[in-house]
Amino acid sequence: MNPSLPLVTTRRDFLLNTGRLATVSALAGMTLPHVHAAGSDLIQVALIGCGGRGTGAAGQALSTTSGPIKLVAMADVFSHRLTSSFDKLAKQFAAQVEVPEERRFLGLDAYKAAMDALKPGDVVILSTPPAFRWVHFSYAIAKKLNVFMEKPVTVDGPTSKRMLLLGEEATKANLKVGVGLMCRHCRARGELADRIKQGEIGDIILMRAYRMHGPVGYFASPPKPAGKTDLMYQIERFHSFLWASGGCFSDFYIHNIDECCWMKGAWPIKAQASGGRHFRGDNVDQNFDAYSVEYTFEDGAKLFLEGRCMTGCVNDHSSHAQGSKGLAIISEKGHIPSKAAIYRGQNKTPENLRWAYPQPEPKPYQMEWDDLVDAIRRDVPYNEVKRGVEASLVTSMGRMAAHTGQVITYDQMLNCEHEFAPGLDTLTADSPAPLQPDGNGRYPVPQPGIVTKREY
């Protein structure tokens, strides 16, 4: 770890220090030997976390076309997920999946065995619940592996600082690291960002982001069934528990927040928010059903985020930027396609359309992999950890504002001492869960205005 980054940091010092360290590390990394400089070199891949997103990421890795690439190892804590993922990938990519039984690993320490099956310069996919990201990333760096990690990469202040330092270690080791904020690789959004930067909608005054739909994933969880430990229950249903994923807020809303901040070219400095639980029945998860956040940027511009997971309500999954000269559609109906467009004035009408990205759009889930593998094969600097940490931290800032009922600044979130799940690097199947239920099997939920220094 680099001791030059202070343990207690302001937003300005944080950004200055990380920028300085990234520059020095990038220069140092350029002197290291090439590993996959030749496009004909075989790249081997290991998948850690075999759920839906991990399986999708592995498929996108195997769909890159810049040179030979194979999946050779897999790891998970649940055998049914590993089996399902293997069967799907082996059927779709028969010639590129070479994962015999002896390279399919189960357990909380299975990530080590899967990475041990690789050689330096290969790629490991980290798609377990985000709480384990720093643990697995640490081992990947020690094994000199390139990394693709899913978002979010952190869920609290202490792990944000830890991941930032690990990102610097990866740069110094000349490792390439991609973070699964795939909207940043969307060609349509990229052109929109350039047009906004060139002043086509004027100064951004207001941004609006919506992710409102019915319950998805493990948003809600009923009481834990008998015969399953609290630890395995919480890992399996990670969207329901703040320590494991940052809850639905961090997992679901980070893309909208990140794409808006990209268009703004800045991260917000503070957030205030509200939210609440409504029709919960016997559910024991920690999520609110609805969130409303006002983010404020240094120049006073605002980003309003509306999140809701409720059946029977109006659905909306979109992001918009309103400038002094016009309106920009960042995303219209979900992550892909973005349908990026610019309108004169503030009304989205056909006659006001000024520019729209041509359809169909390249898929950003594939673009992020094409970009990462291209960087590996050409051996050019490539490390998205810092930006991934910042996006995760800003997301956590809005979540904490809602869960505490307080105004939370960037600096407060970064320096908040509440680490949701310390000691995950020593966790075993027999360890107590980071979150303990009460006598009725219910887990602690946020209490805005009552518990104000931490989220639960």
Contact 319, 215 (CB under 8 A): no
- What's the pLDDT score for residue 36? 54
CA distance 382 to 380: 6
DSSP assigned state of 383: B
- What's the pLDDT score for residue 10? 52
Helices (H), 320-384: 364-378
First-to-last alpha carbon distance for the chain, in angstroms, is 30
Taken in order 85, 218, 180, 363, is the CA torsion positive or negative?
Answer: positive
Contact 231, 344 (CB under 8 A): no
Residues spanned by CATH 3.30.360.10 within the chain? 187-363+395-426
- Written as six digits, the tokens of 242 are 């703040």
Question: Which distant-in-sequence residues (6+ apart) come within 8 Å of 455 by Cβ?
Answer: 242, 399, 400, 403, 404, 418, 446
- What's the pLDDT score for residue 279? 83
- What's the pLDDT score for residue 19? 43
Residues spanned by CATH 3.40.50.720 within the chain? 11-183+366-384
Q: Sheet harboring 104-106: ordered strands across?
A: 104-106, 69-76, 43-48, 123-126, 146-149, 177-179
Spans of the chain below 50 pLDDT: 1-8, 14-16, 18-34, 37-38
pLDDT digits (tens, 9 = 90+) for 93-124: 999 999 999 999 999 999 999 999 999 999 99
- What's the pLDDT score for residue 6? 37
Taken in order 295, 299, 301, 303, is the CA torsion positive or negative?
Answer: negative
Please give the single-letter amino acid code of residue 74.
M
Question: Which distant-in-sequence residues (6+ apart) come within 8 Å of 299 by Cβ?
Answer: 266
- What's the pLDDT score for residue 280? 85
Helices (H), 51-184: 52-62, 79-92, 110-116, 133-142, 157-172
- What's the pLDDT score for residue 353? 98
What b/e sequence results for 77-111 when a residue is b if at least 16 CB atoms lie within 10 Å of its CB, and e otherwise?
A: beeebbebbbebbeeebeebbebeeebbbeebebb
Looking up tokens 């939370």 gives 408
CATH of 187-363+395-426, one of 3.30.360.10, 1.10.530.10, 3.40.50.150, 3.40.30.10: 3.30.360.10
11-183+366-384: CATH class? alpha beta
Contact 317, 212 (CB under 8 A): yes
